[in-house]
A and B are shown apart, each in its own frame.
Chain A
Amino acid sequence: MREQLEQSRQRLYRVAYSWSSDRALADDLVQETLSKALKNVSQLRDPDRFNSWLFSIMANCWRDHFRTHPEMDDIDELEDYRCVHEVTPEDEHAQSQIVQRVRAAVGNLPVGQRQVLTLVDLEDFSYAEVAGILGIPAGTVMSRLCRARQALKGMLLEFAPKQPSQITRIRRVK
């Protein structure tokens, strides 16, 4: 149990940060999630679903956060609020680095797509588990994931690591 809780805290933070692009907000989200998890531990009927249960609590906390910010009410399609924030020269410099570019691209995805993408890519949740965590149909998970990656492709493909099929092999010319 000790190890499970410790690992969960780190994993929660990683995803919370990918959702919020804000360390303080991610911290708050994780705190709130752990607090609610401890308070509602009796609701966990199946210990095998511990991770899904925890992340569904965090998804609810994240939804609550949006409710407190009416300007962000459309959780599925609204562009991240960071889009409208001013970009400082420091930000521009940081974004020249790949990691920052990827994070910015993920942060620019609509919230619903961002949640699906990070739960699948960072946490290896199955599509069915993501559907349960977010309370959406599995088909919606697939379509959001598809749209998220299409959008990322447009923003990031120049940085994608070369895969074996993309590497030009030496050919013998007769």
Chain B
Amino acid sequence: MNNEQAISDEFLNALVDDQLDSAEKDYALRAVNQDAALRERVCELRGLKEMVQHAYPQATVEQVQRRGRMSLRIPQLQSLAACFLLLLVGGTSGWLIHDLSLPAGDNQMIHSLQALQQNDFAVHPSKFVVHVDTANPVRLKTALDEAESLLASAPDNPDAMRVEVVANGPGLDLLRADRSPYAQRIALLEKKYPTLDFMACGQTIRKLRDKGIVVELLPNTLVTPSALEQIITRRLKQHWAYIKV
């Protein structure tokens, strides 16, 4: 029996990738030991695998980090995670929360979040970033409702309350002149509350323009290079409270 014909390429790949069970592996190794041509094929596959691994070292990642592009480093993740917990435990505020219950398997994550929340005494009670990333008109309206509600909650000292509405992805529709269903309301809110800012994600704008879409923003809309960068590396570091609608 010619082993080279009997053993398929898929089978040899599985051998090289250690995907065979014990009996299959015994059979394959015996066949390979007896057949020089099979041995040659296995060697070729191993060589190819090694070359691919060699071509993508982990150092590539470190080089990118040194370039200074935004990355979700652990302290930033902690800040973001702490804010998610804020949402989870802050139901009494009436904010929308997507999913209050986490499965039992996430206990470790919950523990981490609780520890972070307990240690995060610096969350500013009067600075909020409202994040919207969906074009759902109900959510867009909710973002505006939340912003207005927060600003209206300090009638004696409205200037002390700061709210930043950050829109990215499909949520950018909120701030696009040709697509926003609430352009007039946004203009009125900006006029009424000088400490309210609307911020569009530069990455989303770039992606839309790459597709040939003309993006025109509402008057007074600010642009941040990246919505996530604005939220995570700037506002959360400054202990703003985060609201995701």
Q: Is the CB of B48 within 8 A of A156?
A: yes
CA distance A18 to B55 in the complex (A): 9
Q: Tally A residues with Cβ within 8 Å of B.
A: 58
Report the contact-size class of chain B (Cβ under 8 Å from the partner).
35 or more
Number of residue pairs spanning A and B whose beta carbons lie under 8 angstroms apart: 140
Residues of chain A lying within 8 A (CB to CB) of residue B77: 5, 34, 38
Q: Does B152 lie at the interface of the complex (its beta carbon under 8 Å from any beta carbon of A)? A: no
Option from B13, B54, B61, B103 in Cβ contact (under 8 Å) with A14: B61
- Interface positions, chain B 98-139, Cβ under 8 Å from A, are 99, 101-103, 105-106, 108-109, 112
Residues of chain B lying within 8 A (CB to CB) of residue A166: 40, 43
Q: Does B46 lie at the interface of the complex (its beta carbon under 8 Å from any beta carbon of A)? A: yes
Q: Is the CB of A142 within 8 A of B13?
A: yes
- Residues 14-49 of A, flagged 1 when their CB comes within 8 A of B and 0 if not, give 100110000110111011001100110110111100
CA distance A159 to B52 in the complex (A): 11
Q: Is the CB of A1 within 8 A of B52?
A: no
- Interface positions, chain A 115-147, Cβ under 8 Å from B, are 117-118, 120-122, 126-127, 142-143, 145-146
Residues of chain A lying within 8 A (CB to CB) of residue B72: 9, 31, 34-35
CB distance from B80 to the nearest CB of A (A): 6
Given contacts A14-B56, A118-B52, is CB(A1)–CB(B112) below 8 Å? yes
Q: Does B153 lie at the interface of the complex (its beta carbon under 8 Å from any beta carbon of A)? A: no
Residues of chain B lying within 8 A (CB to CB) of residue A9: 61, 71-72
Q: Does B81 lie at the interface of the complex (its beta carbon under 8 Å from any beta carbon of A)? A: yes
CB distance from B167 to the nearest CB of A (A): 14
Q: Does B9 lie at the interface of the complex (its beta carbon under 8 Å from any beta carbon of A)? A: yes
CA distance A2 to B75 in the complex (A): 9
